[in-house]
Structure 1
Amino acid sequence: MKINRKKILIYWPLFSLFLLAGCNGSTALKKEVRVKNTLDFNRISETVSIPMTKLKDLTAKYSPKDLLVQDPSTGNYLVRQLVDENQDGQPDELLFQVSIKANEAKTYQIIGRENGSEEQPHSKYTTFSRFVPERIDDYAWENDKVAFRTFGPKAQQLTEEHKPGGTLTSGIDLWFKRVKYPIIDEWYAGAVDSVDYYNVDRGEGCDAYHVGSSRGVGGIGVWQDDSLHVSKNFVSYKTIARGPIRTVFELTYAPWSEYRIHETKRISLDLGSNFSKFVVSLKPEKPVPNITIGISMHERKGDIKLEPKEGWFRQWEKGADSFVGEGVVVNPARVDSAFTHISPTPDQSQIMVVTQPKDSVLTYYAGFAWKKSGQVNSVEDWDAMLQKQAERIQHPLKVTIQ
């Protein structure tokens, strides 16, 4: 039998193209991402972060905005978010969320597709943060479960000049929300005409938390000579990301304490989480002891629990016609000690978590759950949420890119 090698050489490239098209449709490239939960409880709506450096073969052909994330078990595309961490105009990571059972492993696909941006699914809920000049100069952030705010230099100036409306604190304030959709813009808009607008619960929640000069939930200081020395309000901000999965921003502070600490907080909040993540960079001009995270004890009537070996610390107290749990979660390897400090000075009775930052950086999580939101029904529920958050920190999802 005589074989026509010339025809084979001609037809083989065409046949290969046919196979590629038949297998992948309009998709030319894809990567598999294997995600494993090593814990013995289900992890719901947890964020997976893929560095864009791991997707270079995809981005060499497709724009990052045309990358899709697919769950092969359902065939559905997942909501994803690109984040430009260093603000250079190019995304640094791709985020998507997974719900994965105890000790389960699942595989997802990142697909490059022409005009993939047109096929991206849209999220019903989102994260959000912004500077709020219409309320002096707050910075506020939220997701589908919780909302927070802190205060800027104009609020500090008003206080120091003994003028009304000011707030002097670097503490973290809480907004009790009980709806999944964003409320920050609506509540601030209402407060333009009525100062007490967001102090009244109209079915969405309210601002019923008092931060004052305390640390609120997650503010820091230096514990020294039986006193907590703290910074004043933030002096500048930078919004880095807002999207369906994560909001990220930075706050900077004027040098504070006798140690002249130059502080930058990078704060992020993921959809579905009750906890903001704080990555605090501390550059003192001389060695500084006892960097301490605080939780305000208000009237000192709350139920307190300190678990330094597990890495979580909490209070359960009355709040807004219900109960609220406030807490801090930190790697126990970074915890030096924890105690309650009772003071006759207003706003200075607090839970103190004394820490050991690593390479001048302290990472921790601070958050809350309001019973009226339906997220917890008891202090036992709040303890369980804190314990799971601590275990997530110690045992992050195992992500393998193939």
Structure 2
Amino acid sequence: MKKFFYLFLATLFITSCAENKTVTITVTNPTSLDRNNEMVEVEMSEIDAKLKLADTAQIIVLNAAEQQVPYQITHNEKLIFQANVQAKGTALYTIRTGTPNVFSVKACGKYYPKRVDDVAWENDLIAFRTYGPALQASGEKAYGYDVWVKRGTTDPVVEARYAMELNPKTEAKIDSLNKVNPKAAKALRAATTYHADHGNGLDCYKVGPTLGGGTAALMSGDTIIYPYCYKTQEILDNGPLRFSVKLVYNPLTVKGDTSVVETRIITLDAGSHLNKTVISYSNLKETTPVATGIVLHEPNGEVKADAKDGYITYVDPTDNANNNNGKIFVGAAFPANVKEAKAVLFSAKERAERGGADGHVLAISDYQPGTDYTYYWGAAWSKADIKDAAEWNKYVAEYAQKVRNPLTVTLK
């Protein structure tokens, strides 16, 4: 009986120790900037090794106040969560077994074959889309990223916008009204289109045959080699805190070589106005310039191009400056050195070819074959959380500092 009692106590002690195991995560901020709601990553393999997790075990992430922090486990087995770390400071987080709360979705996206193969995605602040093979097959030229602005909510809005725009019954009604009452048909379209603001934002950004809101492209001399719609798409992560998609493009012709294939992985995290994008080019034979570009819709618009500090910005007037659509702030930030950053205006001939756009602001670097080109791009809206160009320039400039000086994460 005593032997059984001691065995029971030993088992209880071991079980209790296993249940009480924790991992302490220290997040350190090397900069003089406060880092709020910034995503950090921890390898799940390291957590598993310390906690000895069973296959069915659940975990929770706690801040210093013992409050649960939303997290996500990504497709490549990283645990991610948003950290808040004061300038030159540290913050402690704890991981242990437990039942996680249900987390609101703050980053997500979807493939829309009914809308010519769009891939569209968003977070709590902003939304984007890129174009696919069905659009290319139609002959429409659209090379760059599109921006969809949002306000008044941190919840997902993109799927509802598509549902409203593409509702078969509404489309049939509009077709029918066009035959007998074009004015009523126009009114119904205006009431259901995502090109009008119905309370949470709209699509009022014009891409056209340009690099749009921050697309990267190889260059041959001063000529941009435009990537024409993705060939295949694979959504890798879909919330609640991170959306990521892998896009593979049709072969490009670079200096007569027709076998260069671009692969992009685009990642948008909750709380960020900027996407992280990692690009590689297979079969490229030599070092080639690569430019990240933002389309200019005014010849004398508000442009900031800072190669030294690694960022570019532009204040876009929207596709209808007279429609009270506010301003769209577009920008890109670079973790590696930028060789050159500048605004380049189109000739009259190219302006006509580019749908009336005036040029690009470009950040140009050298791409080495076999490496990754990583940068960050995105947008904000004057009718949402960032109100003016000065605030946007500060945001993007500080973003560049942050990606050049990432938070450090240690486990104990």
- Confirm or deny a common fold (TM above 0.5): yes
Shift of 1:13: 6.5
Query: What SS is found at the alignment partner of 2:45?
Result: helix
Summarize deviations over 1:131-174 as a string: whole Å, max 9, x none: 11121210101000010001001111111xxxxxxx32231110
Secondary structure of the residue that 2:395 maps to in structure 1? Answer: helix
SS class of match (1:219) = strand
Are residues 144 and 64 of structure 1, via their aligned partners in 2, closer, same or farther at CA, if it must alter by over 3 Å?
Answer: farther
1:48-99 Cα deviation digits (max 9, x unpaired): 111122123256432376122122x2222211111123xxxxxx11111112
Pick from 73, 79, 82: which aligns with 2:73?
Answer: 82
Deviation at 1:370, TM superposition (A): 0.6
Moved more, 338-347 or 57-66: 57-66
Deviation of 1:398 (Å): 1.2
Task: Please identify runs of 4+ aligned residues in structure 1 that moved more than 6 A.
Answer: 9-13
What displacement does 1:199 show? Answer: 0.3
Equivalent residues, number: 373
Partner of 1:148: 128
The SS at the match of 1:388 is: helix
Partner in structure 1 of residue 366 of structure 2 = 356
Alpha-carbon distance, 1:351 to partner: 0.9
Match of 1:234 in 2: 230
Q: Is the 8 A contact 2:22 2:51 kept in 1?
A: no
Report the counterpart of residue 30 of structure 2 in structure 1: 38
Matching residue's letter, 1:126 = K
What are the equivalent positions in structure 2 for 1:2-401 lying under 5 Å apart? 27-58=19-50, 60-63=52-55, 66-71=58-63, 73-85=64-76, 92-112=77-97, 116=98, 119-159=99-139, 167-178=140-151, 179-192=153-166, 193=170, 197-258=193-254, 259-260=257-258, 261-319=260-318, 321-333=325-337, 335-343=338-346, 344=348, 345=351, 346-347=356-357, 349-357=359-367, 359-373=370-384, 375-401=385-411
Contact 2:143 2:208 in 1 (8 A): no
Q: Can you give the 5+ residue segments of structure 2 that lack an aligned partner in the other structure?
A: 172-188, 319-323
1:360 Cα offset (Å): 2.9
Q: Distance in 1 between matches of 2:10 and 2:52?
A: 22
Specify whether residues 342 and 65 from structure 1 end up closer, same or farther in structure 2 by C-alpha distance, changes over 3 A only: farther
Structure 1 unaligned residues grouped into runs of 5+: 1-6, 86-91, 160-166
| Amino acid aligned to 2:61 | V
Deviation for aligned residue 1:14: 5.8
Question: What percentage of aligned pairs have identical amino acids?
Answer: 25
Per the TM alignment, residue 348 of structure 1 is displaced from its structure 2 partner at its CA by 6.0
| Contact 2:243–2:269 (Cα < 8 Å) also in 1 | yes
Contact 1:309 1:332 in 2 (8 A): no
Which amino acid in 2 is paired with 1:175?
Answer: W
Report the Cα distance in structure 1 between the residues aligned to 2:117 and 2:75, rounded to whole angstroms: 25
Distance in 1 of aligned mates of 2:401 and 2:284: 35
Structure-2 change in CA distance of 1:64 and 1:350 (3 Å): farther
Q: Give distance in 2, aligned partners of 1:341 and 1:131.
A: 33
The one-letter code of the counterpart of 2:339 is D
Contact 1:283 1:360 in 2 (8 A): no
Per the normalisation by structure 1, the TM-score is: 0.86
- Matched residues in 1 for 2:287 and 2:86: separation? 43
1:313 alignment partner, SS class: strand
The separation in 2 between residues aligned to 1:100 and 1:252, in whole angstroms, is 36
Cα 1:231–1:243, aligned 2, differ >3 Å: closer, same or farther?
same
Quote the RMSD (CA, aligned, Å).
Answer: 2.3
Task: Indicate conservation of the 8 Å contact 1:213/1:348, yes or no.
Answer: no
Please report how far the alpha carbon of residue 29 of structure 1 lies from its aligned counterpart in structure 2 after TM superposition. 2.5
**Cα deviation digits, residues 225-252 of structure 1 (max 9, x gap):** 4321212110110011111211111111
Q: Secondary structure at the match of 2:68?
A: strand
Q: Deviations over 1:115-144 (max 9, x none)?
A: x3xx21122342111111121210101000
Counterpart CA distance in 2 for 1:282 and 1:303 is 32
